[in-house]
């Protein structure tokens, strides 16, 4: 039997958390992790009972009042966790793997119609894929599994055995969760999809087409730049065309492998398709060649289960009213954390943003959001967002180096990739989408509108071919509305001083330079 709250007052299992003060005790998940010595990533927030009579927040701790204190038992802390903290599948799976099933049976028999006992019963059987020695519930109203005050719930499916509505967004094989936060609620309330439609709807069809082409190329180039690559222009254009097709075909393992083959132009030294060995992100020690991972990929033997779960979750969510950006978060970040391929994972991860938003008709038809370009501008925040997941898991993965400079994972790690809190990733992606909708997109539409005005003026003023007009405007852009002496002496030497002055004046009038 586990002993809860037996820690010494100056120590804690939760390295990133401040030590509790005298008289404060663990509650909920903190007590369960401590009492059962669970090897799991610490949640972003944990609960404790303080001596004060008002609920407060201190660093990572949610401090509850003495009247909230649960019974110092498995049942007491499980009920507290579900009631006040929401569902943490990683903690619950590790807990259920380490206790006797009879403990859950006794709990349910003691409270056969209890809302929390039935939820815990469902979660035990769902997570362990084991049926307990209990008769189906016949009484009690159906209760939602996730409390949507704590976490974003999906379309529910009734479990008659437990009289529970399963509103988890995923499956047993893959089910990240996203906590409801004030920031995410505010983003969702902005209705950014409609804002994007409003922005582009004010633009002439020709300009829409030009904007779409420019943003597509911009995003493709940015995605390679994030990976530290400078491919030939034709490769950037080819990947841009693929991004432009996002959302047109259903995702599958075969589709992902096809996309990887487009990303990896030269595959002589890379095995395409799912890995058959380990994988990691990081460097090698210059002297020894020892791997220095900042992220360790899922084991190759787990990829079939994880990808199957990810794709089943994708199908479940795309056929629901779950928010499009939250779906993109779960699928795209889930994919890159699994890291199923030897190479190309990062670009496919960012492709999945486009795919999910396009499939859910988030953006105006034919327009690709340059999310990668915004990410590139916020590259440090992006790395921190990825690190927020990886750094809490590195210490939980046992590995050894291989003679190929790779890593071989020695312990069971599949649940690290199945069940994680994607809240930080969702907030980051929403920030990028909001910037795209309210800044990048309007700026591009505004530029093209002004470009068209100047283009029309030049064509009326001077008989000049489109290609040369475009070059002239680009030269003016590069020098804040002034045509350089080099351009005046070479490409545009045929222009008179008066013509140059008239064009520069018009540029400055339209673009408000100076």
What is the pLDDT, as a whole number, of residue 201? 66
- Inter-residue long-range contacts of 165-168, CB under 8 Å, 24+ positions, other chains counted: 166/122, 166/126, 168/87
What is the pLDDT, as a whole number, of residue 196? 82
Q: Residues within the annotated binding site for ATP?
A: 343-350
CA-based nearest residue to 220, from 429, 373, 336: 373
Residues 376-396 have a mean pLDDT of: 92
CA-based nearest residue to 370, from 218, 247, 243: 218
Which has the minimum average pLDDT: 155-159, 175-179, 272-276, 422-426?
272-276
The two most distant CA atoms of the chain are separated, in Å, by 95
Task: Say yes or no to pLDDT of 153 above 90.
Answer: yes
What is the pLDDT, as a whole number, of residue 218? 73
Q: Confidence class of residue 119 from pLDDT cuts 50, 70 and 90?
A: very high
> What would the pLDDT profile of 202-257 be if each residue is shown by its tens digit?
666 666 666 666 676 777 777 778 877 776 777 777 777 788 888 888 999 999 99
Residues 381-395 have a mean pLDDT of: 93
Which has the minimum average pLDDT: 17-31, 106-120, 157-171, 401-415?
17-31
What is the pLDDT, as a whole number, of residue 175? 98
Q: Confidence class of residue 68 from pLDDT cuts 50, 70 and 90?
A: very high
Give the highest mean pLDDT range of 10-14, 143-147, 283-287, 362-366: 143-147
Q: How crowded is residue 385: how many other Cβ atoms within 10 Å of its Cβ?
A: 20
Taking each helix axis as running N to C, give the angle between helix 345-359 and helix 324-338, from 0 to 180 degrees, rounded to the nearest 10. Answer: 160
Per the CB < 8 A criterion, the answer to whether 349 and 336 are in contact is yes
Which has the minimum average pLDDT: 10-19, 284-293, 358-367?
10-19
CA 453 to CA 50: how far, in whole Å?
66
CA-based nearest residue to 328, from 362, 298, 305: 362
Task: Say yes or no to pLDDT of 300 above 80.
Answer: yes
Lay out the sheet containing 157-159: strands in order across.
Answer: 143-144, 164-166, 157-159
What is the pLDDT, as a whole number, of residue 46? 94
Q: Per the confidence metrics, is the pTM higher than 0.75?
A: yes
Q: Confidence class of residue 289 from pLDDT cuts 50, 70 and 90?
A: confident
What is the pLDDT, as a whole number, of residue 11? 41
Beta bridge partners of 421: 177
Per the CB < 8 A criterion, the answer to whether 94 and 39 are in contact is yes
Lay out the sheet containing 61-64: strands in order across.
Answer: 25-27, 46-49, 61-64, 56-58
What is the pLDDT, as a whole number, of residue 466? 86
Q: Please provide the average confidence, as pLDDT, over all residues in the chain.
A: 89
User: How many Cα atoms occupy the beta-carbon half-sphere of 456 within 13 Å?
Assistant: 6
Q: Which string of DSSP letters, residue by residue, matches 130-180?
A: ---S-PPP-SS--EESS-TTTB-----EEETTTTEEE--SSBTTB--B-B-
Q: Confidence class of residue 27 from pLDDT cuts 50, 70 and 90?
A: very high
Give the architecture (CATH level 2) of 183-437: Orthogonal Bundle (1.10)
User: How many Cα atoms occupy the beta-carbon half-sphere of 265 within 13 Å?
Assistant: 12
Per the CB < 8 A criterion, the answer to whether 325 and 178 are in contact is no
Q: How crowded is residue 213: how many other Cβ atoms within 10 Å of its Cβ?
A: 14
Residues 358-377 have a mean pLDDT of: 81
What is the pLDDT, as a whole number, of residue 431? 96
> What would the pLDDT profile of 325-346 be if each residue is shown by its tens digit?
999 999 999 999 999 999 989 9
Task: Say yes or no to pLDDT of 9 above 50.
Answer: no
Residue positions annotated with a catalytic role: 339
> What would the pLDDT profile of 441-484 be if each residue is shown by its tens digit?
888 888 888 888 888 998 898 888 888 888 988 899 888 889 99
């Amino acid at each position: 039997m586990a002993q809860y709250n037996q820690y010494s007052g100056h120590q804690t299992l939760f390295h990133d958390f401040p030590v509790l003060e005298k008289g404060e005790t663990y509650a909920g998940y903190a007590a369960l992790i401590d009492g059962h010595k669970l090897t799991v990533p610490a949640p972003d927030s944990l609960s404790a009972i303080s001596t004060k009579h008002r609920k407060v927040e201190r660093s990572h701790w949610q401090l509850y009042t003495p009247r909230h204190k649960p019974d110092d038992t498995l049942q007491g802390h499980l009920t507290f966790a579900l009631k006040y903290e929401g569902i943490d599948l990683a903690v619950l799976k590790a807990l259920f793997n380490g206790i006797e099933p009879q403990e859950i049976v006794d709990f349910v028999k003691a409270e056969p119609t209890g809302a929390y006992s039935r939820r815990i019963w469902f979660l035990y059987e769902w997570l362990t894929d084991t049926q307990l020695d209990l008769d189906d519930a016949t009484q009690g109203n159906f209760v939602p599994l996730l409390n949507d005050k704590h976490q974003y719930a999906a379309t529910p499916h009734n479990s008659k055995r437990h009289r529970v509505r399963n509103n988890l967004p995923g499956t047993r094989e893959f089910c990240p969760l996203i906590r409801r936060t004030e920031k995410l609620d505010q983003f969702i309330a902005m209705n950014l999809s409609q804002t994007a439609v409003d922005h582009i709807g004010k633009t002439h069809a020709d300009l829409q087409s030009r904007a779409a082409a420019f943003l597509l190329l911009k995003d493709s180039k940015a995605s390679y730049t994030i990976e530290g690559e400078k491919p030939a222009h034709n490769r950037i254009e080819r990947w841009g065309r693929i991004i432009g097709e996002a959302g047109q075909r259903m995702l599958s393992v075969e589709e992902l492998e096809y996309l990887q083959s487009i990303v990896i132009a030269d595959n002589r030294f890379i095995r395409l398709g799912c890995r058959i060995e380990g994988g990691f992100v990081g460097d090698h020690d210059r002297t020894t060649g020892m791997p220095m991972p900042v992220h360790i990929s899922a084991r190759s033997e787990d990829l079939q289960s994880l990808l199957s779960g990810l794709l089943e979750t994708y199908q479940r969510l795309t056929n629901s009213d779950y928010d499009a950006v939250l779906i993109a978060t779960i699928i795209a970040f889930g994919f890159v954390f699994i890291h199923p391929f030897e190479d190309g994972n990062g670009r496919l991860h960012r492709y999945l943003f486009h795919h999910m938003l396009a499939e859910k008709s988030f953006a105006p038809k034919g327009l690709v959001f340059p999310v990668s370009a915004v990410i590139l501008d916020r590259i440090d925040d992006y790395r921190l967002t990825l690190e927020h997941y990886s750094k809490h898991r590195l210490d939980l993965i046992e590995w050894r180096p291989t003679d190929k400079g790779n890593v071989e994972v020695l312990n069971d790690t599949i649940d690290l990739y199945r069940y994680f809190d994607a809240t930080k990733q969702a907030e980051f992606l929403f920030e990028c989408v909001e910037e795209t909708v309210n800044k990048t997109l309007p700026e591009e539409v505004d530029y093209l509108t002004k470009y068209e005005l100047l283009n029309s003026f030049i064509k009326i003023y001077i008989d000049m071919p489109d290609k040369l007009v475009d070059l002239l405007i680009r030269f003016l852009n590069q020098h804040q509305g002034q045509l350089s002496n080099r351009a005046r002496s070479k490409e545009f030497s045929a222009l008179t001083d008066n013509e140059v002055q008239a064009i520069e004046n018009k540029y400055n009038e339209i673009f408000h330079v100076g």
